[in-house]
Structure 1
Amino acid sequence: MSRPARLSVGVVSAGRVGAVLGAALTRAGHTVTAVSAVSRESLRRAEQLLPDAAVLPPDQVAAIADLVLLAIPDDALPGMVRGLAAAGALRPGQIVVHTCGAHGVEVLEPAVEQGALGLALHPVMTFTGRAEDLQRIVACSFGVTAADDDEVAWNVAEALVVEMGAEPVRVPAAARPLYHTALAHGANHLVTLVGECVDLLRDAGVATPQRLLAPLLSAALDNALRHGDRALTGPVARGDAGTVVRHVRVLAEQAPHMLPAYRALAMRTVGRATEAGLLRPDLAPDVTAAIEEETP
C-alpha cells in the first residue's frame, strides 16, 4: 500500500464530517490550509477543529490544495464538482475526495477530466462534529472506491484511510447505491425505531424510558451482529399470535401512526424467523393473520 506524501488539504466544507476528517488528516501529518464555512456552526467547527486553516470560498479552497476534501450533501456534490472544474480550481495531480456514501467516483468525472485523481472515502460512522469523533474514527471503517482498473488509486484511497486510523473496505462503484442503502436503512431507521419505542414507553407512564431500553437494545444489537437471525426473540419468533393481536390493537387505538411500521417489520420478522427455524411453519399463518388484522 503506497503512502501519500504530506499534502496540503482543502476542506469543502466544515460540516460535521468535513471538520472532523480534516482534523484526522492533520493528526496524520497533513496540513489543512483552507476550509469553506458559512453558517455559525460550521465557522465554530472550523475554529475548534481546524484552527490554522484559512476560511475561504470553495473555489479558493480547492485551488490551493493538493487534496480537496468534498464533505457536502449527496445531492449538492455533482454541482459542486462541476462548479469547481468550471472555475479552474482543479488541476492535474490533485487528489479530489468526496465523502458521500451513495456516489462512486463517476460524480468526480469533471475533476478527473482536469487531470485530478478521484476517490470516494465514506466513513461508516455518525458524526457530531466535535473532537470526540476523532476517537470514534479509529474504531470505524471507510467504504473506499476508486476507478475499477486503477490499482494505484485504490492504494492511495486505502492509505489515506489507514493514516486517519480507520479500516478501508473496498466497495466497487456499481455497488455503492446498495451499500449505502444498507447503511442508511440500518443506522437511520434504527434511530427512528428507538425514538418511537421511547415515545410509547413515555405514553405508558415510564419516567425514564431510555434507561429501561438501553440494556435490552444493546444486547439485541450485539446478539444480532454475532448470531444473525438466530438472535430473534419475542412473540413473532415464538408464534404467539395472541400477543401480536394485542400489539396491533393497542397501536391502532393509541398510536395509529406507528402501526404501519410495526406491521411491516413484524411481517419481515415472520419471514426471517421462519427461514432461521425459529418460527414453526404451522404457526406462521396465525401470526401473519394477527399482524394483518383489520382494525377500526
Structure 2
Amino acid sequence: MNPTAQEPFDPRDRPARLTVGVVGAGRVGPALAASLRLAGHRPVAVSGVSDASVRRAAALLPDIPIVTPAEVLARADLVLLTVPDDALPGLVEGLAETGAVRPGQLLVHTSGRYGAKVLDPALRAGALPLALHPAMTFTGTSVDVQRLAGCSFGVTAPEELRLAAEALVIEMGGEPEWIAEESRPLYHAALALGANHLVTLVAQSMELLRTAGVEAPDRMLGPLLGAALDNALRSGDAALTGPVARGDAGTVAAHVAELRAHAPGAVAGYLAMARTTADRALAHGLLKPELAEDLLDVLAGSDTLGDARGDGAGGTR
C-alpha cells in the first residue's frame, strides 16, 4: 500500500462521539440526527410540539425522549436548531438569555437564509456556531436519510470552526460547500427559485394535462422533465427549447388564450417565465431578434391574443 495515498474518510475513525439534540422536529431535524447516529453519534433528546413532529421523531429517532428546548440543550453536546427561518432569531436569543446555552456546545442551525451571525447571542454565551443547510427537499420520512448521500450543504461558520463544520457534513454523507455570510440570502433565493418553484410548475402542468384529457400526466411528464433537467444542468441556457426560444409568437399567443380560458390563475406565471426565457434566449443568441418583437408583443398582452382565439394559431412562424 502506498503510504502517501489518502485513505477514504471513515467517520467511525473519529474517537470522540457527540450526544445530539434536536430543537424543532420538523422534516429536517430528525433526518439529520438519524444520519449522525449512523455516523456513530448518539441522539439523546428532541423537542417537538405538534402531533406530526412527535410522529416524525418517533419514526426516525425511536426511544429518544421528547423534552423542552432547554432540556435538549442541557443533554446534548451538539444541538440542531431546525425551526422555520422566521423563528430562528427569537429562539436563539431566548435560549441564550435563559442560560440554556453551555460553553463549548456546538449549536447548528439548518436555515438557508441565515449564516452564522444569527447565532451571535449563543456565541457570546460560549457556544460554537455553525450554519449547515442541506440543499435538499425533505419528506419527513426515512428516505431523507438516504437522500443525504452526496447532498450539498451550504456551510457558514467562523474560520476556526470550518474543519469541524465540514467534518459534520461529511459524516452525514453530504458535500460541504462554503457560503460567505453576506451571500446566504442570495444562495437561498437561488435554491428556492429552482426547487420550490419547480414543484409549483410541475403541479400546474399536471393539472393542465388532466384538464386536456391526459390520464397519466406524471408518466407523460417524467421522461420529459428528467431530460430537461439533465440538459439544463449540463448546458445551461443552451438547453432552451420550445416556442419562446424559437420565437413562435402564434403558438405562445394560443397558449395564453387557452390558459385564460381554462386556468386563469396560471397566466401570470406563464407570462413571467416566458418573458424571462425570451430575455435569456435573446442574450444567448437562441432567439432571433427579428422574431422577438412579435413574441414580446404577445407577452405584453397585445391583440395577438385575440387572433389566437380566432384561428387557433400554433404553427411555426
Which of 257, 265, 269 is the matching residue for 1:261? 269
CA distance in 2, matches of 1:245, 1:47: 52
Structure 1 stretches lacking a partner, 5+ long: none
What corresponds to 2:138 in structure 1?
127
For structure 1, which segment, 152-161 or 172-181, has the greater mean C-alpha deviation from structure 2 after superposition?
A: 152-161
AA at the equivalent of 2:44: T
What corresponds to 2:199 in structure 1?
191
Change (3 A) 1:144 1:4: farther
Which of 54, 64, 71 is the matching residue for 1:43? 54
Q: Normalising to structure 2: TM-score of the pair? A: 0.89
Q: Contact 1:37/1:55 (CA < 8 Å) preserved in 2?
A: yes
Which of 287, 293, 296 is the matching residue for 2:301? 293
What corresponds to 2:209 in structure 1?
201
Cα displacement (A) at 1:290:
1.8
Would you say 1:140 and 2:142 are equivalent positions? no
Q: Normalising to structure 1: TM-score of the pair? A: 0.95
Aligned residues: 293
What corresponds to 2:113 in structure 1?
102
AA at the equivalent of 1:129: G
CA distance in 2, matches of 1:79, 1:293: 45
CA distance in 2, matches of 1:96, 1:279: 50
What corresponds to 2:100 in structure 1?
89
CA distance in 1, matches of 2:265, 2:259: 8
Which of 42, 50, 60 is the matching residue for 1:31? 42
What corresponds to 1:155 in structure 2?
163
Identity of aligned residues (%): 59
AA at the equivalent of 1:29: G
AA at the equivalent of 2:58: E
Change (3 A) 1:93 1:84: same
What corresponds to 2:257 in structure 1?
249
RMSD across aligned positions (CA): 1.6
CA distance in 1, matches of 2:234, 2:271: 26
CA offsets, 1:201-244, max 9 Å, x none?
11111111111111111111110000100100011111111111
Cα displacement (A) at 1:47:
1.5
AA at the equivalent of 1:178: L
Cα displacement (A) at 1:43:
1.3
CA distance in 1, matches of 2:56, 2:257: 48
CA distance in 2, matches of 1:4, 1:168: 21
Cα displacement (A) at 1:160:
0.3
Q: Classify the secondary structure of the residue corresponding to 2:129.
A: strand
Which of 226, 233, 256 is the matching residue for 1:218? 226
Q: Contact 1:239/1:287 (CA < 8 Å) preserved in 2?
A: yes
